């Protein structure tokens, strides 16, 4: 197995287990490169990549941009607020204009579910989904699973808890697909208003009591409370949320074991995660996630670019 089964990375749902394995083994190579003095290789030197962000992002955009530059690709950045989108241009027109400038790959974040699928159906370039609405965020799920694998040596058979705002989270959905494909056991935890109905049909369990869920898990992925999407009252107050669903150090200390803590960022310290947990030298691998993110994105870009169908 030396090539991905897909031309675009739109979601984890479309990948199979061997694809994920190939991405991980390629990321191992890039991880070695990122830890040496000269962190750059010339693989994508004749490729141009457009980062098209219709929604705010700091770390995902920087991580992609760094990955592209480490592979020697030419990069153009585009953000909706400073473009013709605000003048009423359609998504397809915007992207076709960018492609007319001979761009080979598009990395896109968009607030609408399925925007990347729409794009992939209409253009020839490889499309990488960097987050579409509340749907999928595949590279985040890959780097989460990769970080877990680096810490524990495996993903299969581990009990992984995803806690927090599942309803609004694209990270949650991609993580569920990815972890299940790799053979982990997945449980969700959060207030009932923030857990989608019938989510069990995906093959995950739901637990509303955080302490019980923590006692079960080996790894916990803490999701952000998306303050910008909380116009409806999903819970009475942040203070109450922090009390019932905040990951505090006392909670971890009560457990008779050590669990690994992930957070896709940006963190609301004192809400879903306590600072002492986020900065904990043994429990937290949050900064490892950021480091692994560049290697994973390099692997995805490299593997999609090497597909003979695209050149």
Partner 1 sequence: MAKVLLEGALFELTLTRLAAQLVENHHDFSQSVLIGLQPRGIYLALALHHKLQGMLQREIAMGRLDVTFHRDDFRRRNLPLVPSALDINFSLEAKQVVLIDDVFYTGRTVRAGLEAMMAFGRPSKVELLVLVDRKYSRHLPIQADYIGIKVDTRTNEKVKVKWMESDGEQGVWLLTEDESNAK
What is the contact surface with partner 1 in residues (CB under 8 A)? 2-3, 26, 29, 32-33, 36-38, 40-44, 46-47, 71, 302-303, 305-308, 310-311
Q: Which is nearer to partner 1, 29 or 57 (CB)?
A: 29
CA distance 157 to 276: 28
* C-beta of residue 281 within 8 angstroms of C-beta of residue 274: no
Question: To the nearest whole angstrom, how small is the minimum distance from the Cβ of residue 308 to partner 1?
Answer: 5
Q: Which is nearer to partner 1, 41 or 85 (CB)?
A: 41
Question: To the nearest whole angstrom, how small is the minimum distance from the Cβ of residue 146 to partner 1?
Answer: 16
159 burial type by CB count under 10 A (0-12 exposed, 13-18 middle, 19+ buried): middle
Nearest in space to 51 (alpha carbons), one of 59, 41, 39: 59
Q: Which is nearer to partner 1, 27 or 173 (CB)?
A: 27
- What are the phi and psi torsion angles at 32 (to 5°)? -60, -45
Structure tokens at 1: 């197995």
Nearest in space to 96 (alpha carbons), one of 122, 76, 62: 122
Map tokens 């409370």 to a residue.
225
Q: Which is nearer to partner 1, 42 or 236 (CB)?
A: 42
Q: Which is nearer to partner 1, 2 or 233 (CB)?
A: 2
Question: To the nearest whole angstrom, how small is the minimum distance from the Cβ of residue 74 to partner 1?
Answer: 14
- Strand segments, DSSP code E, in the chain are 48-53, 74-79, 105-110, 126-132, 159-163, 185-189, 205-207, 219-222, 260-262
Question: To the nearest whole angstrom, how small is the minimum distance from the Cβ of residue 45 to partner 1?
Answer: 9
Question: To the nearest whole angstrom, how small is the minimum distance from the Cβ of residue 275 to partner 1?
Answer: 37
* C-beta of residue 107 within 8 angstroms of C-beta of residue 51: yes
Q: Which is nearer to partner 1, 115 or 125 (CB)?
A: 125
Biggest alpha carbon–alpha carbon distance for the chain: 59
Question: To the nearest whole angstrom, how small is the minimum distance from the Cβ of residue 63 to partner 1?
Answer: 19
């Amino acid at each position: 197995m030396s090539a991905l089964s897909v031309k675009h990375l739109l979601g984890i749902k479309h990948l199979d287990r061997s694809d994920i394995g190939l991405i991980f083994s390629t990321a191992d190579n890039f991880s070695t490169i990122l830890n040496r003095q000269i962190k750059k290789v010339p693989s994508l030197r004749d490729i141009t990549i457009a980062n098209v962000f219709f929604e705010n992002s700091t770390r995902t955009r920087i991580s992609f941009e760094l990955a592209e530059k480490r592979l020697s690709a030419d990069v153009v950045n585009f953000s909706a607020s400073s473009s013709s989108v605000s003048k009423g241009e359609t998504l397809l027109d915007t992207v076709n204009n960018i492609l007319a400038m001979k761009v080979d790959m598009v990395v896109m974040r968009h607030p609408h579910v399925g925007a990347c699928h729409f794009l992939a159906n209409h253009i020839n370039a490889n499309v990488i989904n960097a987050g579409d609405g509340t749907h999928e965020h595949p590279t985040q799920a890959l780097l989460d699973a990769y970080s877990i694998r680096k810490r524990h040596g495996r993903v299969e058979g581990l009990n992984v808890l995803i806690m927090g705002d599942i309803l609004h989270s694209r990270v949650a959905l991609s993580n569920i697909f990815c972890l299940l494909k790799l053979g982990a056991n997945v449980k969700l935890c959060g207030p009932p208003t923030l857990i989608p109905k019938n989510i069990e049909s995906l093959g995950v369990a739901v637990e509303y009591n955080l302490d019980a869920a923590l006692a079960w898990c080996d790894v916990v992925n803490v999701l952000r409370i998306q303050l910008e999407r909380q116009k409806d009252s999903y819970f009475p107050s942040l203070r109450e949320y922090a009390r019932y669903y905040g990951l505090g150090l006392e909670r971890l200390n009560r457990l008779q074991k050590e669990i690994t803590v992930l957070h896709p960022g940006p963190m609301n310290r004192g809400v879903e995660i306590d600072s002492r947990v986020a900065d904990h030298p043994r429990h937290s691998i949050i900064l490892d996630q950021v480091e692994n993110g560049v290697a994973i994105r390099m692997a995805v870009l490299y593997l999609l670019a090497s597909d003979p169908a695209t050149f």
